[in-house]
Structure 1
Amino acid sequence: MNKINFLKESLKSLKTSGTLFPSSRFLASKLLKSIDFETTKLVVEFGPGNGIITKEILARLKPDATLITFEINDSFYKALLKIEDSRLIVSNQSADKVLEVIKQHGFSSTDYIVSSLPLTNIPKPISAVILDSAYKSLNPKGYFFQYQYSLTYYSALKEIFKGNVDLGFEPLNVPPAFVYTCQKD
């Protein structure tokens, strides 16, 4: 999906896409820098959109590892299905189903979740269930990476991850983004 198609789809579904512009390679690098791609067997991605970050994950993922993505937008879902990579599993379900889906694919938990979900646009009861499911699906010391365009979810993430949240910032993205690195204790 090119940038023009991304913009058109984002305009139609701004509430679920959360932005008019795809993520920059700089934001993708900042989100993925703490992932140990040498040892991980499973990475989970919430809200991959047109697959910019998905492709970056796949470029770094070992041949025997798996990436499971969760995308509810039908146009983005169909675009993700066009990525030809046997390590990629594309789920057209809400991220709150993460535990069920990873178990269906032979995993009990994951070390890493990368999220591009526009949490501030998602009703609080739904985002609370998604974040709770994400926390439960992580291994001890597992990481949840989230970017947002505001600090709205900083205190909520600190509460869920018992204070284990580092805040970063990526100015080379449109718009500039805050990057939350949350670790399960």
Structure 2
Amino acid sequence: MRISPLLIKSSIQDSKVATISPTSKTATKKIINTIDPTKDLNILEYGPGTGALTIPLLKKISPESKILAIERNQRLYNHLSNVEDGRLKLIKGDVLNLPQILRGLNLREEFNIILSGIPFSFLPEAKAEKILEQTEKSLTREGKFIAYQFSPKLKSLLSTKFSSIQESKTLLNIPPLRIYVCQKNPKN
């Protein structure tokens, strides 16, 4: 666990950047372990930040898997744009505009996995609900939405969109994280 000068600068200039420390290796491993890396996956990541999850995920997923990452903060976008991997498509934008972003990329695909590090507790409830509605529509039938948050407030909103929610915590993160793994139609 370490403090990131990049995240400090970003959070000072942008109140929507919720942390000064990248997601810890322990939390990253816990999140990645919820994903089957042997399958060819279509992954969407909201708010990849410094790439603390994106980069290790690229090392684990299959050669045919793809990650579309949407980052709204210019400084963090610039930092992550240095990652050279053909499976990563980085977009500068706001996830509130997800339908327009996907149309602009001429994508109609659904995603097997949607990851979110965006701070839902910083958002007005209407915006959080809009993001979750778009998320649910963008998942495959058995797709997973994995959100990692500092605040427990998200769980009640998640229960309005997903029939299965598994919650875990990792204390080895600054601050400690809650990890929610959600599915619309989980396999029995």
The answer to whether the 8 Å contact 1:135/1:184 transfers is: yes
1:105 CA displacement = 5.5
Give runs of aligned pairs for residues 34-183 of structure 1, distance below 5 A. 34-102=34-102, 104=105, 106-162=107-163, 164-183=164-183
What letter matches 1:40 in structure 2? Answer: D
Give 3-state SS (helix, strand or coil) of 2:53's partner.
helix
**TM-score (normalizing by structure 1):** 0.91
**Cα RMSD after superposing both structures:** 1.7
Amino acid at match of 1:53: L
Is 1:27 equivalent to 2:27 in the alignment?
A: yes
- Pairwise CA distance, 1:17: 1.3
Contact preservation (8 Å) 1:44, 1:114: yes
Identity score, percent: 27
**Does the aligned pair in 2 maintain the 1:45–1:69 contact within 8 Å?**
yes
**Normalized per residue, which structure has more helix?**
1
The secondary structure found in structure 2 opposite 1:43 is strand
Distance 1:96 1:8 in 2: 24
Q: Report the alpha carbon displacement of residue 148 of structure 1 after superposing the two structures with TM.
A: 1.1
Q: How far apart, in 1, do the equivalents of 2:5 and 2:23 lie?
A: 14
Deviations 1:64-102 (A, max 9, x none): 221100100010111111111111101112113434545
2:47, 2:182 → 1: CA distance? 17
8 Å Cα contact 2:4-2:20 kept in structure 1: no
CA contact (8 A) 2:40 2:64 kept: no
In the alignment, the residues of structure 2 paired with residue 141 and residue 66 of structure 1 have an alpha-carbon distance, to the nearest angstrom, of 18
Shift in Å, 1:106: 4.5
What is the distance in 2 between the residues matched to 1:83 and 1:120?
Answer: 29
CA distance in 2, matches of 1:48, 1:148: 13
Specify the SS of the correspondent of 2:146: strand
Instruction: Provide the C-alpha distance between the structure 2 equivalents of 1:147 and 1:69, rounded to a whole number of angstroms.
Output: 15
For structure 1, which segment, 44-53 or 101-110, has the greater mean C-alpha deviation from structure 2 after superposition? 101-110
Q: Structure 1 stretches of 5 or more lacking a match?
A: none
Question: Using the alignment, how far apart are the partners of 2:158 and 2:40 within structure 1?
Answer: 23
Q: What residue identity is the alignment partner of 1:133?
A: Q
The alignment partner of 1:52 has SS state of coil
Once residues 67 and 171 of structure 1 are traced to their aligned partners in structure 2, the CA distance between those partners, rounded to angstroms, is 27
Distance 2:57 2:4 in 1: 20
Aligned length, in residue pairs: 182
Q: Answer yes or no: is the 8 Å Cα contact 2:10–2:73 preserved in 1.
A: no
Contact 1:99–1:137 under 8 Å retained in 2: no
Mark the runs of 5 or more structure 2 residues left unpaired by the alignment: none
| In structure 2, C-alpha distance between the alignment counterparts of 1:25 and 1:16, rounded to whole Å | 23
The letter for the 1-side match of 2:175 is: P
TM-score, structure 2 as length reference = 0.90
Distance 1:105 1:88, change over 3 A: farther
DSSP-derived class of the 1:160 partner: coil
